Structure 1
Amino acid sequence: MKARRWVDTNDKMLLKSPILKLLLFSQLIFSGVYASTPYQVVYLKNYRASDGLPGSQVNYLMQDSKGFIWIATDKGVSRFDGQHFKNFTTTDGLESNEAFRIAEDNYHRIFFYCSNYRVCYYENGLIHKLRSTQRVLVQPFANMFFNRYNELCVNYGLETKVYSFAELKSRKHPGQQPFSSIYGASEEEIPLSEHDLTLLKNELGTAHFNDTTAKINTKPYRLAIQQNHLLLITKDWVHVYQYQKSKLIPLAKISFTGNVTSVYLTGKNTFAVTTVKQGTYIINYITGERKNYLNNQITTSTLIDRENNLWFGTYESGIFLSTNPDVKVINKESGLVNENVLKLNIAGGYLFTGHILTGLSYMKLSANKNSPIGTLYLKQNRSDFNRVTSLLPISGNKLMIGTDNGIFGLNVSNNNPLSWQPILYQGGPVKGIVQHRDTIYFLTSQGIVTLPDGTGYEFSPIRVTSLVWQKDQLLVGSLYGLYKLATPISMKHFKYVRILADKGINAVKCLASNGQVCAIGTEDKGVYLLTGKTLSQFTVPVISSGNIRKLIWTDANTLWACTDNGVSIINFSNNYQTYRVSRLNTSNGLPSDNVADVVRHGNDYYIATDQGIAVTQNLWNTNLSRPILLDDGVPGKQSNFMYGKPVVFNCVALSYKSMGKIQYRFRLKDVDKNWAAAPTGEKRFDLLPPGHYELEAVAADRFNQLSRPLVFQFTVMPLWYQQLWLQVIAVTGAIFISFLLIRKYYLSIIGLQKKDYENALALQRERQRISSEVHDDLGASISGIKLQTEMLSRKVTNQPVFKEIDAIHDAITDISTQVRLIIWSLDVENDEVGSLANFIHKQAIKLFDSCDISLQESISVGEATIAISGEKRRQVYLLVKEVLNNIIKHSNAQNAFLAISLYKNRLHISIRDDGRGFVPDVRKHETMGIRNIYARAKRLNADLKIDTAPGKGASISLKLNL
């Protein structure tokens, strides 16, 4: 065991000396400090070097104004936030790794007194050393703090030693201060008169305390102030005075003997006495109440933080945290043979606890909370698998005990536990026990057995888990659902039906009834409450977990749900329509989150866990402190970040009761709709667009309490090419260049359109010229030749010669017709739909004049001028002519119908007859005429439809977009 280096006024007395080692050894074998003080066993969370502390030897504990816990050890100092230890050593600037005292000044700087008699301080994340070479002397029994003037003070003996350094920025005293002024850590100040000093010295003298004993540290003493109380502190007693009207009035003297290491003020009207191997005693010097914690440890420092948690520093075991000292714990230290408690119940005024392998433990419930604990072993067939599965008290001060190897009865009416003899009623595993009227029902793996008659009712294998009577109905839970037994139960083989399967109740682990409603605990869906025909559900986050181990009604309106994440207490009102929920877990003082059972005795609630039994009277978390969320960055840290650089913020939430189970939530204001959860307080952005932002952060503790929001305001600065003025210039330039390019493009388009217009105009003129010349020259010549052949045919009487001349005449007539068609198609004056319709009409009349087919026409193109090119006119005409010729030559029709219409620039030509018709698919490939019709329609990009069948005529429809 490493000794601490304390110094005396001569800088010679070290704890490492042989004399003091002998003194320490004598303290280790000394008896307890207070034989009459009851020892308080509470749940203590232990943090050691393996958990992040720089060392397990703790010299001092302190909480700063922000809420951080500071720990001085022999290997450095540490700042603890409930989750992480932030350690500082000589590498970080600490004067020495062994620090003895910590104090906060009025500027919220944290000062450390180290083993080299030097002081350094923490500010803005860094350790700073003082420029002064002056040594500071803090004796082992002394206390170090800052007064209202920001002077470093050390209370020892009957005076306050004041140190001033330039870095302290101490304020001037308002006037001449008495030499004997005593200061306190909370800005208190008491000027001691000569009469007061005489009073204190006389008190010390009667116990042989004087300046010499203080200097050599054999009988040290000091003064301390708490509000208007002055405390004269020694290792044997504390004398409390009230400072009133400039004089001291004695109030009380609290004495103690034994192995005291130090005495510290811990809170309002309380101080703590740390000892060797007797733990820490917390004493209220007004009421005289004393409590002892952490027995069998060498305690060095004690702290009560602002959440009312208890912190204990030890010489070799690190620090211990008690989040709720009001919750007492029964464990091995209390005499419990096995801390893994599976079942609880009360019979004959005794609390019985069921375990695995070790049977039952029992303790008398009386006003004396420290009754001895006894153990009762059950004779079972298998010693390797003998859990206690059920405890049920019945009338006559009897206890029914269910185990993995059978059901036992225990008569506890005799108040002598040594005379108790468990009786085995039946072997085999027992899943649960209930009593209904005078009959006991216990559940086995294969069915239900009743006592005292021993009748059994077999089940099919459904993996039963629990049973309960609910309004004269026996319900059985299994891993395959919830079953109701048909009543009355009078046969060996009986009926049972599954219920509530349609409500999602599948794997049932436990059942509990208060006579009015039934609670159903499931494997993963929480608790269902069956109230009449109404079914309601409670699961995460309303309760601690969805996996329910056991349900207990401690009264008609209070239901306990035991889980592996603590126990949830649901208190109902308004006929089970409203409720409130409270949670108990290690953050409330339970020794473990793994809760197995609960039983009530008066105002006390006994809670079974795998680390012992918790005893409490407070079920409601009404005074829990909300987490405190702090910016953990350096003050004055940059709030402007260049685009592309990572943006990182750090915050820390202080909630020591949550024991590290903190959830952080972040969102960018006016950007994110939902909060993003994170396990740590670091938030990082890698590529935020330039702009001004507000990052909101909150912290949720283990009880889903939210901290006040913390807002980080920051700006992401654009790069040079992202600057607004540059972007404006770039956009303006781009618009101007685009304007020039578009202007050039449109000018080129206009030029092309002008050129196309000129070409079209020239083409039109050329067509007009060709049409005129063909009409005037070629047309006249052909007409002359035609006239000459007609005259010649009249003069010739030779029949063969006449036929040849007549053939020449017909050929010339065809040529004349083609020439007229060419002239018509070339003439730009005919480039409109009306001209096309009129031309088709005239040609159709000529075609049908020489045949017996009657032609009926319907032409409706309106008076509007709709343009159509010459080539399209020609192709349309030739297509129509081909169709009309086919009707004349092949249809054997009596009537033909021609319809031409125009609707919204869409030309529709319909031709039909009442002739013999044809097979269109065959004719399409066999005749040139049909092929020509399809070819011309394709050239026109028109819709062509031929509807015909043998003996049903033919109909041809042509639709052309103009």
Structure 2
Amino acid sequence: MKIRFLILSLIAGFAFLQVAKAQYLPFRTYSIEVGLSESVAQALIQDQRGYIWVGTGYGLNRFDGVSFKQYYEDDGLASNDVHALFQDSEGTIWVGTEFGISILRGDTLVTPSSVSQLNEYPVISITEDQEGNFWFGTESNGAWILEKNGNLVSVNETMGISMQWVQTIYSASDGTIWIGSRAGLARINDDQVRYHSTENGLPDNRIRHITGDDFGRIWIGTFSGLVKYENGNLSIYDRSDGLLDEKIQTITVEDRNRIWLGTESGVSLFDGRNFQNYTRTEGVPGTIVQSSLLDHEGNMWFGTLGGGMCIYVGDYFQSFNIENGLTNNVITGFAEGPNGDVWIATYGGGLLRHDGESFQPYDESDGLVDNIVFSFLLDSQNRFWIGTRGGISIYEDGQFNTVSPDRFPFGLVRKIYEDVEKDEYWIATYESGVIQLQEEGYIQHHTGNGFLNNTVMDIKRDEQGNYWFATYGGVAMYDGEQFEYLTMAEGLPSNGVIHIHIDHNGDKWFSTFNGVAKYDGESIERLSQSEQIDLITYFTIQDLENQYWVGTNRGLYRLNPDELLEAENTLERLQSFRVYNKNQGLIANELNAGASYVASDGTIWLGTVEGLSHFYPSEIREINAPPGIEFEEVMVSGRMINPKGQHDFDNDENFVQISYSGLSYEAPDQIFYEYRMRGLDQGWQITTERTIRYPSLSPGEYEFQLRAYNADGFVSAKRARFSFDIAYPYYLQWWFFVLIILVIVGLILFSIRYFRIKKQVDIERMRVQIASDLHDDVGSSLTELALQTDFLQAVTSGDDVKKTLKQLGKHSRKIVSSLDDIVWSIDSRNDTAGDLTDRMQDYVNQVFVNGEVSVFYDFENLRMHEKLPVDVKENIYLIFKEAINNIVKHSNASRIDIRFSFSGKSYTLEIHDNGTKIKNDRKTGQGLRNMKMRADRIGSDVEIVSNGGFTIRATGSIK
């Protein structure tokens, strides 16, 4: 029984030591849980835009740092089983699958006819040589070349190579083609083939991967170790040299002395002499590593069998928890011993001492007063003072001694400070204020005697000898005589102060529950924090290079205080700090109060709520590679749009949603974006979101511009752009305005014409009414008067009376005749040119009743139905009538020619007689004057010509 117990104890102890040596490294895993189509990552590349492409056993995946986009056979993939990926010099991605080759241009997959001959075979290797020819390695069908002229030829047939299972092909910078197969290695140069096998130096004929570097070396992965080919010589490395596993699946060269190897047992890093090995214990997600990639930022990627893929961002952190050495995951403090050992305080697991290899635990069973430990102090006598929940333990000469409760009757000790000069200790407690512990006793400073707050988290002493206390009521300063206080009233961001740091300039940094504040002795200046309003800062420290580090509940911040304080805008503020969190290997994003320590070797120990991380600031590299920026999806009113080119949308297509990706992988959660919509936004806007929405854009011309910044503030080399126009609605189009103007003008003209016509109609109605009234009333009365005079003449006997009655009847008939002319001219039913000529003819017939004078009419150029203005019609008729009367009275003419023409715009009245003499020797008189007067009324010209008779010509135009 004792032997069995001893064996089990040895096994347990050995297991503990193995675990204690293990550490979590910053391997960040992506698998099916986050969108990878399958957990078998067989091939990896990064394209020119920055996307990571993953070939799996079930589909091709494109990764942007946050999400995956999958491609399958339904999308044009030759087979869902992807073995090889390669991007050529023109940006086309070649995909080797279980059944031939597909190529990807943009987002379109096709199988080119030039390589259809390989559709029956698994293509497991693809490369491009210096001349632009493509080489393909197949399973069971040898190697093939796709020449630039489009011919596909078999390497086996043309060069006599008898390799059927070609695992890898590499095109070196000197033009040499290296072909690795299960039957050895072939080297082709100037069409000359040279072979390497176990017979001439290879450790194994089974070649899995070949690659080269910029230093003229060729690295060959075999199933029996690593081979380096340099200057014609082969060097072999295997387990005896420290290699994790001799079955090498993939090789990637990071630098001259950093060669990464993926094996069937994990990852090995070769520095030229030694191997550093990483397995599941260190965070590699799968045992068999099938593919690897060095991205543009210097991150290493590994594709595994069953564990998806992972990224290794750098040697930033080594992390530990209860699974690999800690006794409790909540770490509360650190200290460094005289021999360089690091002491670790835990919340419930006692103490741990780390000697660089393993952890040695100490707890209550070893004499510690309490397993909940908060702080350490290495005093001037090289004794460790240990502050715990239950009091103080002193570790000296390998033993723990408890400070007597009679001397120190307090618990929850958060911090201890030694005043060597006065041989006293200042002790911060969580509930009892500050205790000034002296040889002869103690002095307690608490709220009962005027102290600021009973919860004291930290104690610091400046060069002037002043003590500074971080409390939950603000900051207290003791100058040896009295206390002074700084609170929110003086500018602190919060009264809950957790930690105080005095920097190399003597400035005080206060870490609070609401950010960090700097105090220069005169004023408090708050540092603008990140976008999270709930940022709790647990400590501020400086490393040996005086860089500032702030521990928060969101990770570890590195900041440049001067840049941050002088930042004038959000962009400058974001570029002034950098966050390191779980994505970079920190074991947890939430750190602990006071749980930080800058060791003598320059490394930083960090305590979190989930374990501890050993941080190496010197290993941090700046990500100066510009991030890629790509549109992922552009939706316009629910319709997918290709963002390339110029687009025109209707006015109701004004809901624009744009999704995009900044392609940076070391810290994808810290990418931020600047965007603007030209035509809408006045300046650049900043966001960390990956989708922007414009719900209701007005009509106009727009261009959405976007650029990305990585975690170190480097901007993308290009801007992503999306240009489009939103049409104005028809009621805002120029033609619509023209149409409206025309309609308005038309309505105005219509109204004017309408009212004019209406007025004209009313006038014509009035004219008809007046004409009827004159004819019926006045004309009838005058006619009746004339008839009465005739009757009276018949019955009257007096000559004088008869003469008078005769004159009265004559004048009455003359008035009736004149009235008839007036009635005719007033009546709107007589306004046409035809009515005028009819009236003329009627009057001629009345005048020349005896037939002595022949009258001839010429009305050929007359628009009979054209209307004449009333005044024109009336005065032309009266001129005509006056001319006829003159002929009757004063001419001996036997022929009269009457011509009247009217074109609608102009008119001509011409009356010619053949009279040779004047009856009463009067060539002119009242009648001629009347004609001229009437012509002047209508703007007409009248000519009177005596040439073989008289001609009267009146011409004019209608205005």
> What TM bracket, shorter-length normalisation?
0.5 to 0.7
Q: Identify the residue that residue 260 of structure 2 maps to in structure 1.
A: 272
Q: Are 2:35 and 1:52 equivalent residues in the alignment?
A: yes
Deviation of 1:723 (Å): 8.4
Q: 1:637 to 1:572 in 2, by over 3 A?
A: closer
Partner amino acid, structure 2, of 1:696: Q
Q: 2:646 aligns with which of 639, 644, 658?
A: 639
Q: Are 2:371 and 1:362 equivalent residues in the alignment?
A: no
Partner amino acid, structure 2, of 1:566: G
Q: Identify the residue that residue 716 of structure 1 maps to in structure 2.
A: 725
Q: For 1:336, what is the secondary structure of its paired residue?
A: coil
Q: Are 2:450 and 1:450 equivalent residues in the alignment?
A: no
Q: Identify the residue that residue 625 of structure 2 maps to in structure 1.
A: 625
Distance (whole Å) between structure 2 residues aligned to residue 737 and residue 307 of structure 1 = 70
Q: For 2:669, what is the secondary structure of its paired residue?
A: coil
Q: Identify the residue that residue 390 of structure 1 maps to in structure 2.
A: 375
Distance (whole Å) between structure 2 residues aligned to residue 602 and residue 305 of structure 1 = 31
Partner amino acid, structure 1, of 2:170: G
Q: Are 2:232 and 1:249 equivalent residues in the alignment?
A: yes
- Greater gyration radius: 2
Q: 1:259 to 1:187 in 2, by over 3 A?
A: closer
Q: Identify the residue that residue 584 of structure 1 maps to in structure 2.
A: 580
Q: Identify the residue that residue 401 of structure 1 maps to in structure 2.
A: 386
Deviation of 1:351 (Å): 0.5
1:538-572 Cα offsets, whole Å, 9 max, x none, are: 23149998421123355695543211122234567
Deviation of 1:390 (Å): 1.7
1:392-428 Cα offsets, whole Å, 9 max, x none, are: 22222222221222222222xx5xxxx3435345452
1:855-888 Cα offsets, whole Å, 9 max, x none, are: xxxxxxxxxxxxxxxxxxxxxxxxxxxxxxxxxx
**Do the aligned residues in 2 keep the contact of 1:311 with 1:319 (CA within 8 Å)?**
yes
Q: 1:291 to 1:318 in 2, by over 3 A?
A: same
Distance (whole Å) between structure 2 residues aligned to residue 343 and residue 83 of structure 1 = 35
Distance (whole Å) between structure 1 residues aligned to residue 189 and residue 445 of structure 2 = 92
Distance (whole Å) between structure 1 residues aligned to residue 526 and residue 717 of structure 2 = 31
Q: Identify the residue that residue 229 of structure 1 maps to in structure 2.
A: 217
Distance (whole Å) between structure 2 residues aligned to residue 197 and residue 292 of structure 1 = 38
Deviation of 1:308 (Å): 1.0
Q: 1:703 to 1:420 in 2, by over 3 A?
A: farther
User: Which aligned pairs between 1:633-672 and structure 2 lie closer than 5 A?
Assistant: 637=644, 639-643=646-650, 644-645=652-653, 646-672=655-681
**Do the aligned residues in 1 keep the contact of 2:300 with 2:311 (CA within 8 Å)?**
yes
Partner amino acid, structure 2, of 1:441: W
Q: Identify the residue that residue 599 of structure 1 maps to in structure 2.
A: 597
- Unpaired segments ≥5 residues, structure 1: 1-34, 243-247, 365-369, 490-494, 752-962
Q: Identify the residue that residue 196 of structure 2 maps to in structure 1.
A: 201
Q: Identify the residue that residue 701 of structure 2 maps to in structure 1.
A: 692
Partner amino acid, structure 1, of 2:649: M
Q: Identify the residue that residue 893 of structure 2 maps to in structure 1.
A: none
Deviation of 1:196 (Å): 11
Q: 2:175 aligns with which of 185, 189, 208?
A: 189
User: Which aligned pairs between 1:766-777 and structure 2 lie closer than 5 A?
Assistant: none
1:786-823 Cα offsets, whole Å, 9 max, x none, are: xxxxxxxxxxxxxxxxxxxxxxxxxxxxxxxxxxxxxx
Q: Identify the residue that residue 122 of structure 1 maps to in structure 2.
A: 104
Q: Identify the residue that residue 501 of structure 1 maps to in structure 2.
A: 489
Q: For 2:447, what is the secondary structure of its paired residue?
A: coil
Distance (whole Å) between structure 1 residues aligned to residue 504 and residue 720 of structure 2 = 52
Deviation of 1:83 (Å): 0.8
Deviation of 1:44 (Å): 1.8
Q: Identify the residue that residue 127 of structure 2 maps to in structure 1.
A: 145
User: Which aligned pairs between 1:761-910 and structure 2 lie closer than 5 A?
Assistant: none
**Do the aligned residues in 1 keep the contact of 2:22 with 2:324 (CA within 8 Å)?**
no
Distance (whole Å) between structure 2 residues aligned to residue 497 and residue 721 of structure 1 = 70
1:228-285 Cα offsets, whole Å, 9 max, x none, are: 434444222343334xxxxx632644344645251323445554322233x111335x
Deviation of 1:206 (Å): 4.6
Partner amino acid, structure 2, of 1:459: H
Q: Identify the residue that residue 239 of structure 1 maps to in structure 2.
A: 227
Q: 1:605 to 1:538 in 2, by over 3 A?
A: same
Q: Identify the residue that residue 28 of structure 1 maps to in structure 2.
A: none
Distance (whole Å) between structure 1 residues aligned to residue 346 and residue 642 of structure 2 = 55
Q: Are 2:337 and 1:347 equivalent residues in the alignment?
A: yes
**Do the aligned residues in 2 keep the contact of 1:303 with 1:310 (CA within 8 Å)?**
yes
**Do the aligned residues in 2 keep the contact of 1:155 with 1:222 (CA within 8 Å)?**
no
Partner amino acid, structure 2, of 1:47: Y
**Do the aligned residues in 2 keep the contact of 1:513 with 1:553 (CA within 8 Å)?**
no
Q: Identify the residue that residue 527 of structure 2 maps to in structure 1.
A: 538
Deviation of 1:307 (Å): 0.9
Distance (whole Å) between structure 2 residues aligned to residue 387 and residue 624 of structure 1 = 44
Q: 1:151 to 1:741 in 2, by over 3 A?
A: same
Partner amino acid, structure 2, of 1:291: Q
Deviation of 1:688 (Å): 3.1
Q: For 1:549, what is the secondary structure of its paired residue?
A: strand
**Do the aligned residues in 1 keep the contact of 2:225 with 2:246 (CA within 8 Å)?**
no
In the superposition, the TM-score normalised over structure 1's length comes to 0.61
Q: Are 2:421 and 1:421 equivalent residues in the alignment?
A: no
Q: Are 2:46 and 1:63 equivalent residues in the alignment?
A: yes
**Do the aligned residues in 2 keep the contact of 1:259 with 1:275 (CA within 8 Å)?**
yes
- Unpaired segments ≥5 residues, structure 2: 1-17, 178-186, 568-572, 634-640, 761-959
Distance (whole Å) between structure 1 residues aligned to residue 362 and residue 756 of structure 2 = 109
**Do the aligned residues in 2 keep the contact of 1:698 with 1:709 (CA within 8 Å)?**
yes
Q: 1:105 to 1:187 in 2, by over 3 A?
A: farther
**Do the aligned residues in 2 keep the contact of 1:341 with 1:608 (CA within 8 Å)?**
yes
Q: For 2:666, what is the secondary structure of its paired residue?
A: helix
Partner amino acid, structure 1, of 2:648: F
Distance (whole Å) between structure 1 residues aligned to residue 437 and residue 103 of structure 2 = 75
Q: 1:406 to 1:154 in 2, by over 3 A?
A: farther
Q: Are 2:564 and 1:564 equivalent residues in the alignment?
A: no
Q: 1:268 to 1:469 in 2, by over 3 A?
A: closer
Deviation of 1:655 (Å): 1.1
Q: Identify the residue that residue 475 of structure 2 maps to in structure 1.
A: 482
Deviation of 1:223 (Å): 4.8
**Do the aligned residues in 2 keep the contact of 1:39 with 1:292 (CA within 8 Å)?**
no
Q: Identify the residue that residue 527 of structure 1 maps to in structure 2.
A: 516
Distance (whole Å) between structure 1 residues aligned to residue 209 and residue 414 of structure 2 = 64
Q: Identify the residue that residue 899 of structure 1 maps to in structure 2.
A: none
Q: Identify the residue that residue 499 of structure 2 maps to in structure 1.
A: 510
**Do the aligned residues in 2 keep the contact of 1:121 with 1:128 (CA within 8 Å)?**
yes
Distance (whole Å) between structure 1 residues aligned to residue 142 and residue 332 of structure 2 = 57
**Do the aligned residues in 1 keep the contact of 2:301 with 2:311 (CA within 8 Å)?**
yes
**Do the aligned residues in 2 keep the contact of 1:662 with 1:679 (CA within 8 Å)?**
yes
Distance (whole Å) between structure 2 residues aligned to residue 448 and residue 99 of structure 1 = 67
Deviation of 1:199 (Å): 6.7
Partner amino acid, structure 2, of 1:272: W
**Do the aligned residues in 1 keep the contact of 2:211 with 2:218 (CA within 8 Å)?**
yes
Distance (whole Å) between structure 2 residues aligned to residue 52 and residue 304 of structure 1 = 22
Partner amino acid, structure 2, of 1:359: G
Q: 1:726 to 1:607 in 2, by over 3 A?
A: same
Give the % identical residues: 17
Partner amino acid, structure 1, of 2:461: W
**Do the aligned residues in 2 keep the contact of 1:551 with 1:562 (CA within 8 Å)?**
yes
Deviation of 1:101 (Å): 1.9
Q: For 1:730, what is the secondary structure of its paired residue?
A: helix
**Do the aligned residues in 1 keep the contact of 2:500 with 2:511 (CA within 8 Å)?**
no
1:110-132 Cα offsets, whole Å, 9 max, x none, are: 333333x3222333324334456
- Over aligned residues, Cα RMSD in angstroms? 4.6
Which stretch of the first structure deviates more once superposed, 480-489 or 650-659? 480-489
**Do the aligned residues in 2 keep the contact of 1:475 with 1:485 (CA within 8 Å)?**
yes
